[in-house]
Amino acid sequence: MNIRRTASLILTALPRAAHRRGFGVQSPWAYELVRDVLFEPLSYYAYEEQGLTTKLERQLFRIRNHYRHHPIVIITDKGAAAAQHYETAMRTVTPDTVLIIEHTHDSNADLWQSIVLDPRTVITFDMGRRGMVIFDPKRIKQNYLL
């Protein structure tokens, strides 16, 4: 591994370390989501029977399970296709919609930054490789760096 890549990993991991397990997250709603859904350390009931082996697959399963009564939009495209998919999704979002963006650390990094700044998004969770957006207008606009 080269030195530049190692330094980049360290510099991105340090700011996230404080909030990784919910520490520093003031909202009880967001704290519960971070602790019990996004970064749940215990095994869920259906990991083996669903064939979920990676951490990202298991995290997406927990998100879908937690928001099972809400519409969930998952954008797995990269680059311009992801931006187009995002704009299409924004035409139909409701306050209950949950939007998940993949590849926010590399090919969709610019799109993710524009989503965080977008006035239509309310709460964003930046988890490194994946981002999650909540559109509930009753909440205060905030970005959580996890």
- C-alpha dihedral, 98 to 123 to 59 to 35, nearest 10°: -130
74-112 pLDDT, tens per residue?
999 999 999 999 999 999 999 999 999 999 988 999 999
20-74 pLDDT, tens per residue?
555 677 788 998 999 899 988 888 778 989 999 999 999 999 999 999 999 999 9
Whole-model pTM over 0.75:
yes
Query: Residue 63 CB: number of other CB atoms within 10 A?
Result: 20
Q: Per-residue DSSP letters for 69-134?
A: TS-EEEE---THHHHHHHHHHHTT--TT-EEEEE-TTTTTHHHHHHHHH-TT--EEEE-SSEEEEE
Distance CA 53, CA 140 (A): 35
